[in-house]
Structures are given as C-alpha cells and as structure tokens.
Structure 1
C-alpha cells in the first residue's frame, strides 16, 4: 500500500524541535505509519535545484498540508512573502487538505505578517491553537484519524455498532430472537411481527456491520456471547459480613446474553435478601416484600449491564454484604453527566445505544433517564438510605443499603405459619441440622458436609447453629475439649423434621417460587408473580428444581407440555413453607 505524503510547513529554525517531533510521531505510530510519510525540507540531500522550486513541487505531490504557525514570519523573497506563506498559498490553489496549528494564544507577540497569515488561514480553514509538543501531536493524531475515516481508509465505529471479529450469523440464536420479538410486541407494541426473519430483525435494529453481526448483536442474541466477549460475564458474590474477605459463602459467574445476565443477576440477589409475606385480605395474592425492593435491584443491575464499557477487561461485579449491595460497573459517566446530576432530572445518554434500545423494547429499561430517581424514591418508601454513587478505579459503583440490623422486616400473619422472619436460619445451618444425627465431633460433621476448611465451617455452620439454640455441646463447660461433640436440641429437631430431613436443601430461588405458589397457577402466572421476564431462567433456576425436589407438582402430569398445564404445592412443599426460611444475610 502506497503511503500518502504529508508536507510539514513552518519556519524551520523557530520550530525545529516541533517539526522533528511530528515526523517521529507519525513514523513511529503503528496506525499512522501505515498510511502516511512526512516530508521535511531539511532532510533533503544537497542539490543544484532552487529551494523554492523543491518545496513547492513537494506541496504539489502531497495529500495533506500541515502548517505550524509561530511568532516568526521568516525569510522574505523579492515580493516580501515568506516560504511558509508561499507553501500555504500553493496548497490552497491546488486544493490540498490543510491542517493549521497555531502556537500560543498571544497574537501580539507575532510578527505583523505572521499575524496576517494566521488571520488568512483562519478565514479559510479551522485552525487549532496548541502550546506544547504533546498538545500538537495529540491534535495532529485526531485530525489524521478523522481524515482517514472520511476517506474510508479506516472505520472506527462505536463498540456496539462495530462488527464482532470472527462472528457470523450462525453464532446468533434464532430462538432468542423469536423470544425478543414476542416480548417486544407484548411490552412495547413493537412493529415487526413474530414471524420476522432474523436478518430483517437485525437490520431493523441496526445490528449488522456489512452483513456480519455487530458486538451488540452477539451480546443480545448470541448462542455463546462470552466466546467472543469473555469479560461480558457477570460475577456475583455473597458475603456474611461487611467486608470483602474469604471465605465467600456463595459465588457465581453468570454467562449468556444481556437479557439472561440481567435475569440471573437479579435472581442471585433476590434469592439472598430477606422477605416478608403480607396478609391475604390485602388482595387475592399475598404480597411478598423484599428488604430492598425488587424494582430497585433490577434497575441497578440492568443499567450496569446495559451501560458498561465492554472494551474493558473487567466484568460487572455484584457483591451482597450484610449491610449493602454493591454493583461495580466498568466505565465512567458520559459527559455531560456527573455524579451530582444523577440525583436530579437528567437526560438519558446510553454508552451502548444499540444494546439499550432492544433492552427498552423488551421493557428491561426505560429511556427517559429517570431510573436513578425512581430508585431513590423506592428506597425512601421502603425506609432505606438513598442509593450512593461513586467513581473509583475506572468503575462506576452503585451502593444500595439494606435495612439496619436493628430494623428487621416484620412478618405479617397470613393465617398460615409461613415466611416467619424471626429466628430464620441460613442454608448452611439447615444443611448442618440435616446431617447431625446423634452426637458427632466437629471433624465428623465437616466430613459429612464435605467441608475441608475449619474456619469456614465454624463461621458459617457451627457457630450460627449454636447461637440459634439449634444444637448444643455435649461438654458445655469445656468448649475446647478434644472430646467435644455436638447434638441437636429440640428446636433443631423440629426444624429438621419440618423440612423433611433433606440434607440437600432448596435454593433461595425455589423458596421464592413456593412463596408465591397459591393454588394452581400457570408458568406465566408464576413468572409474573416473581417479576421474572426470561422463561429459560425461570425454568432452569425455579421451576425444574422445585419439580425435581417434589415441592410442587403438575396438574396434568401425563401431558407436561400442555398449554393448560398448571403447578401447585405438594404436601412436602407446604411443610417446607411452614418451617423457618433461610436468612443468610442475618449472619
């Protein structure tokens, strides 16, 4: 590929260092050096030709003219015109692309003729003032990139619009696109019918780059998005205390499309938050209230996934502590947004508009820039501190506060022993109760649970069970005795019996499902009660585990795929609901 010639014009002696810096910068830049070479008159060997003939011929040959204008006008010929002005005039008459950079802001220090040349150049082209070599090279770099883009030599599309390297249409899921069409039509009255061909949908949403899927297309509808964008995964961790330290009781890395990531992350958090169930007389469905409102959690997580910087090697990190939920989102606020502006009405300025638009159509987010204000209002209504925003280490960090330890949610009687808050125990303690048969030593209990780490066992299992009065020591006056063993107390036996003495306890997601399963309900009704949008996530994390555990059953078991299929609690499921539920966050 032949390189384009840049003619660099200035008074040589005044700006010798700047001229050399520009040439070195272009010659050594990995991108610019592929397209340009810089001509400096002083690098030519001795010749019998007249100097003015040489430099004017080089102007004729160049593609780009760069003029550096300082204070000195330079040598004047018989007509009183300097070589610098001759070169500018020649570039003008021959129609060359001209880039003008003026050193300094004090025009009164310039030679009168240089002042005139600065004004003449400014009347014809946009000039840029600089004060140092770094400013000059940065400005030249931006101008040259712009020149290459306008001429089609390079393309620097936004991340979401740019083609995903090595990805083809075969890497997109037609099933996921059909799900999107169905949901978008239902939620936003989307114009395209559910029978729309995949390529037509992608074209309509501007998700193709020269016929190939863009980064946004892969993140929205990819079969395996993390195959191409590894850091697009979401990491979720749950800590019993207020600090980030091991052991980590629960840690998951979620993969999938942005829709699936949002659903999975929301499920992770909601399954570990405290909840209460209201009285049925308040309506046909007993309301379930979480310590942090579900819309607040969903808004925070979806915003992080939608607006993060996908060019970063970092992932969205979700960390649930005993006193707060923190969401770390790679990237920073886009101008003119600021941390302060998030607390008052502000415009919506998405980092990835081609990702944000389908999320809006599927009603995962709104476009009006009201999300942070709604979160604050919902937190206030729930008696929580307002959300806190900060920027740190290249990340936008959102903190949502949990209720104070002295202000636990109060359960409202429902007519059933259900969803009790006081005295609830963690999943770890429930597992301990399930294997505690007879009197056993610490080591025997650890072995039965498959745990290797003594500190983790004592912190997350043994100590909470002792403090809750569910187990007791056989030698209480000598707690550190080598002969010490542990056995169930009566309260522990009741708790274990109520849960069917199952060692492999149910997840928080399944418990949430049981909490809303009143009577016989369809899959869609259950999803709506749980506030879940994505069918695959619901079936994988809620419905199937509950069916396999025998906690719910089908009303038409011999026709599992019937359009009239409904689900109801089994006797085992009702017993589980009557027992104290998990309360990991209380640890």
Structure 2
C-alpha cells in the first residue's frame, strides 16, 4: 500500500478501536514483537490474506507510538517469514508523522494447494493457525486434513470398507446400476465383472468401497451409524424453546438407508412438517396452495449435502443436520466447500468435486443431473415463491444452507381470501377431510403423539375459520362428531 493508504488505515483502526479479521496491530515501540508466527500462519491461510500494522499501542487505546527501528523491524519480520512453510514474503509500507514512523506488512494468501502455512519448527499439526475475528486460533486436526485432502486428492468416497464383501450388497440394485453403466459405456460389456466393479467404484482393489455401501447396502448405518440425517422440527426460532405442551420438538427423526432413500425421507419430512397456506384467486375462483418452502429447492439442498459432504474418517461420526424452525429451514453438512470454490462462485463456476464416484453414481441412478444446476435451481425456486434469497454459509469444517419462509413483500390484492381460508393447512387436512372424518381418524392421520396438541394446532384453526365444518355444530364434543371440508 502507498503512504496515503497506510495513513488512512491508521485512522480507521483508531476510530474503530479494534483489530479485525484481516488486521493485526503490534506496538513495536520497544523492539520487534515476539510470536508473529501465529499471525503469519493465519493470514496466509485465509483467502484475503492480512496486514500487520506496527506503531499503534492497543493497550493505550491504539495510541500512535511509532516503531523502534524501521530497518531492523522489517529485517526481523522477514526472518519470521522465512521460518514458515511455505516461506511468507511480506510486502512492507512505511509512513512518517510528527517524527514517528509506522510500518505495515501485507501478508499475501498462500495458494490453497500449499496450505496450511505453518511454523516449520512446530510442524503442520502444531504450527498451523486460522484467523477467527481478531484472534489467531490453532487449526483443528480436521482443518489441517481438509487442506491435505485437496492437495493430495484423497478419494474418501472410495475408501475401502474391509468388513464387507460384494455379496453383502443388494444384488438387485447393484445389477441394475451395473447395467446402466454398461449402457453408458459400451466397452464395459466386455469386461470381467470384478474388473468392472473396480472401474466404477464399487470396489477398490477388490474391496468394497464406502460409495458402494452408501448406495447398495441393505442398511449402510449398520457399518456407519452416523452417516445419516437428523431431521428436527422445533417450535421456535432457536433450538431449546418449548411449545405449549412443554415439548422441545414438534417432530424429530433419524433418517437412514441408502443415499436415495435418505433423500426421499428428508423431502417427505419437510413436506409433512411445513405449512401450506390456501387461498382463492378472486378472478379465477381457483384454489391456490402456497407451500412454506418449494420442495424442489429442499430436494436440491439435501441432495447437495448428501453427495458433497466430507466422508473422511474425521467426519464419519457426524450426521447431516436438517432443522426446521418457525422462520427458516437449515441443512448443514460436515465439510466446507471443497477446493478453490467460494460461496460467491456457487452456481457460477464448475467446482472441484470432493466425491466424484458418488456424484457420477447418483447421476446414473437418475438422482442428479451433475450439471452444476442445483444451486441456481434452489435460488430460482425460492424467488418463484417470493421468498428470500437462500443463504450459504461456509467454514473449513461445515457448510450450511438456510431457506427462509417469510418475505417482506407488499400485500397482493389479487389473492384475497374468499370462501376457504388463508389459515395455513400444514398437514393437508383440507384434502383429507373432503370425505367426513372422525376425530380418531384425524388424529391417526396427523401421526402426532399428543392428540390434544394435534387437534388444537391443526384442526381447530380450520374449524374456527369455516374451512372445515362440523356434522353436529351444536354438539362440538360429541363422540359422533365428524369433520368435512367446506364446499368452495
């Protein structure tokens, strides 16, 4: 940076009275600061790099104290950089004001193929740091591994599972998959079956792979109990809140099975738990159902989590989390974005693929197009319902997608409620009660353990609005009472 930029940066730091994600302040008034290794490592390991600013005293409210010796300071900072792997080459700038000298050292980011940058003497595991706010934190074992996995192109989706044999897999589903792959590659038909298994990732050197377990095992969780989805519906906007019955969860399930089976279960869980508002278009008289979330966006979100999550031994004890709050749906999977991909590039550039065998297999099974259209589809589906843009959050160890169900939009006069109701019908009772239904039938249909809670939250609002009518309106609690959707 030029002198004017350094002067502006000093003023900014003094104004804000704090360090930042990319700014570290050191006094250096009495000598070169010690232990710069941590900051050199953390700045080098983030995409934006960072800047060390010397000559402000944080303990004295960032007062301008100047550095002790410009030449010696730069020389020693360079010596620190030479003790890093890879070597860090700072870019220095100097600014003088009222006889005091200030120095900045810009630390460029290390290419992702060379990360993590670490203090050579401590080694990669002990000497690697990551920037968290204004602090330098030691990298976890997994964070170090995630860089190594990309650099060395580890293939965790085809790591061998020694305790299984091909005979332990679902032979019918496996045979169908092999047939599809033969149709894609005509020359596969001439190969020995064991050789073909190795080529398409069912086995590796004759040993069943993790991908084969996740796709063709009758019960993958027998071998990997946590490679599942924890689906939860909570009553408020944060975990731990209780509903009127004192329950923490409206619904909670562990979704298990193969990847396609878990995908279908996850979509069904959201469908069964989300609200669906019903309105009548006054111009056409047609009933319009507005779901809380577009299911194709939900499907793409869960599919991405299943095929792009980290399947290394470091994360095999971490399930995918699908959580429905009152205002949003969150899907979080172990493992951040893979390789060079950033959040801003999602859906715009062709990404590196963490699990190529799984992605190819899911494409052959008809579960995904593998054309990088998933993220754009999520975005368009949300926009089509007038919902907020999905939020993607990435860290080295976790990636999450947030779909919000409320948008701040002006009232639409063309969709005023008429003879049915604008009261949400999350469980589809209006369709279920087209034929008269007893209270017991409705409770069984809702499938909620607390019958009182189920009726009060899902049936009573529809009755109160007139959308569902009683057969015996004068005797609302009669055991002979039935409920039927009002005619529109």
What interval of TM-score do these two structures reach, taking the shorter chain for normalisation? 0.5 to 0.7
C-alpha distance in structure 1 between counterparts of 2:191 and 2:439, whole Å: 53
Please identify which structure carries the higher helix content: 1
Q: For 1:36-69, what per-residue CA distance to the aligned partner results, in whole angstroms no more than 9, with x for missing partners? A: xxxxxxxxxxxxxxxxxxxxxxxxxxxxxxxxxx
SS in 2 for 1:269: helix
Name the structure 2 match of 1:292: 293
Question: Shift of residue 400 of structure 1?
Answer: 1.0
Q: Cα distance, 1:241 vs. partner? A: 2.8
Structure 1 Cα separation of the partners of residues 362 and 439 of structure 2 = 43
Deviation at 1:321, TM superposition (A): 2.1
- Cα distance between partner residues in 1 of 2:388 and 2:342: 20
Alignment of 1:232-243 (within 5 A): 232-243=227-238
Contact 2:276–2:425 (CA under 8 A) maintained in structure 1: no
Deviation, structure 1 residue 378: 2.1
For residues 242 and 334 of structure 1, what CA distance do their matches in structure 2 show? 30
2:256 corresponding residue in structure 1? 255
- Whether the aligned pair in 2 keeps the contact of 1:205 and 1:354 (CA below 8 Å) is yes
After TM superposition, the structure 1 = structure 2 runs for residues 376-415 of structure 1, keeping only pairs within 5 Å, are 376-391=379-394, 394-404=397-407
Q: Report whether the alignment pairs 1:334 with 2:331.
A: no
Cα distance between partner residues in 1 of 2:410 and 2:423: 12
Aligned equivalents of 1:173 and 1:420: distance in 2?
A: 48
2:172 corresponds to which of 175, 178, 202: 175
Distance in structure 1 (CA, Å) of the matches to 2:190 and 2:291: 39
Matched pairs, number: 324
TM-aligned CA deviation for residue 259 of structure 1: 1.2
Q: CA 1:275 to 1:216, structure 2 compared with 1: closer, same or farther past 3 Å?
A: same
Cα deviation, residue 138, structure 1: 7.6
- Residue 409 of structure 1: how far off its partner (Å): 11
Deviation, structure 1 residue 317: 1.3
In structure 2, which of residues 318, 322, 326 is the aligned counterpart of residue 318 of structure 1? 322
Match of 1:159 among 149, 156, 160: 156
Distance 1:195 1:411, change over 3 A: farther
* Alpha-carbon displacement from aligned partner over 1:461-499 (angstroms, at most 9, x marks no partner): 54766666659xxxxxxxxxxxxxxx9866788996246
Within-5 A mapping of 1:166-565: 166-180=163-177, 199=194, 202-245=197-240, 246-275=247-276, 290-311=291-312, 312=315, 313-342=317-346, 345-391=348-394, 394-404=397-407, 422=423, 424=425, 434=439, 461-462=455-456, 497-498=482-483
Deviations 1:307-350 (A, max 9, x none): 111231110111122221110111111121122222x5122322
Q: 3-state SS of the aligned residue for 1:231?
A: coil
Return closer, same or farther for 1:411/1:306 CA change in 2, 3 Å cut-off: farther
Change (3 A) 1:410 1:375: farther
* C-alpha displacement of 1:189: 5.7
Judged with a 3 Å threshold, the aligned counterparts in structure 2 of structure 1 residues 381 and 230 are, in CA distance, closer, same or farther, namely same
Please tell me whether the aligned partners of residues 230 and 255 of structure 2 are also in contact (alpha carbons under 8 angstroms). Answer: yes
CA distance 1:250–1:197, shift in 2 (3 Å): farther
Give the secondary-structure state (helix, strand or coil) at the position aligned to 2:273. coil
Structure 2 unaligned residues grouped into runs of 5+? 1-78, 90-116, 128-151, 241-246, 281-286, 466-471
Structure 2 SS opposite 1:327:
strand
Deviation per residue, 1:382-410 (Å, 9 max, x gap): 21111101136932111112245999999
User: What SS does the corresponding residue of 1:160 show, helix, strand or coil?
Assistant: helix
Change (3 A) 1:579 1:133: farther
Aligned to 1:133: 121
* SS across alignment from 2:402: strand
TM-score (normalizing by structure 1) = 0.45
Contact 2:169 2:218 in 1 (8 A): yes
Q: Which residue is 1:65 aligned to?
A: none
Shift of residue 215 of structure 1?
A: 0.8
Residue of structure 2 in register with 1:16 after alignment: none
In structure 2, the CA distance between the partners of 1:104 and 1:261, relative to structure 1 (3 Å rule), is closer
Q: Deviations over 1:100-126 (max 9, x none)?
A: x999889xxxxxxxxxxxxxxxxxxxx
Structure-2 change in CA distance of 1:262 and 1:194 (3 Å)? farther
Asked if the contact 2:379–2:389 (Cα under 8 Å) also holds between the matched residues in 1, the reply is yes
| Contact in 1 for aligned 2:308/2:354 (Cα 8 Å) | yes
Specify the alignment match of 2:139 in structure 1. none
How far does the alpha carbon of each residue in 1:238-258 deviate from its partner, in whole angstroms, 9 at most, with x for none?
Answer: 233322234312111121111
Where does structure 1 lack aligned partners over 5 or more consecutive residues?
1-70, 72-100, 107-128, 140-154, 280-285, 437-444, 472-486, 500-577, 581-587
Larger strand percent? 2
- Cα distance in structure 1, aligned partners of 2:230 and 2:212: 22
What's the counterpart of residue 474 of structure 1? none
Measured after TM superposition, the shift of residue 357 of structure 1 is 0.9
Change (3 A) 1:189 1:263: farther
> d(CA) in 1 for partners of 2:330 and 2:392?
10
- Please say if residues 220 and 257 of structure 1, whose CA atoms lie closer than 8 Å, have aligned partners that are also in contact: yes
Please give the per-residue CA displacement for 1:534-569, whole angstroms capped at 9, x wherever unaligned.
xxxxxxxxxxxxxxxxxxxxxxxxxxxxxxxxxxxx
Out of 327-336 and 156-165, give the one that drifted further: 156-165
**Contact (CA 8 Å) 2:234, 2:324: kept in 1 or not?**
yes
CA distance in 2: counterparts of 1:497 and 1:194, whole angstroms: 61
Once the 2 structures are TM-superposed, how far is the Cα of residue 217 of structure 1 from its aligned partner?
A: 1.0
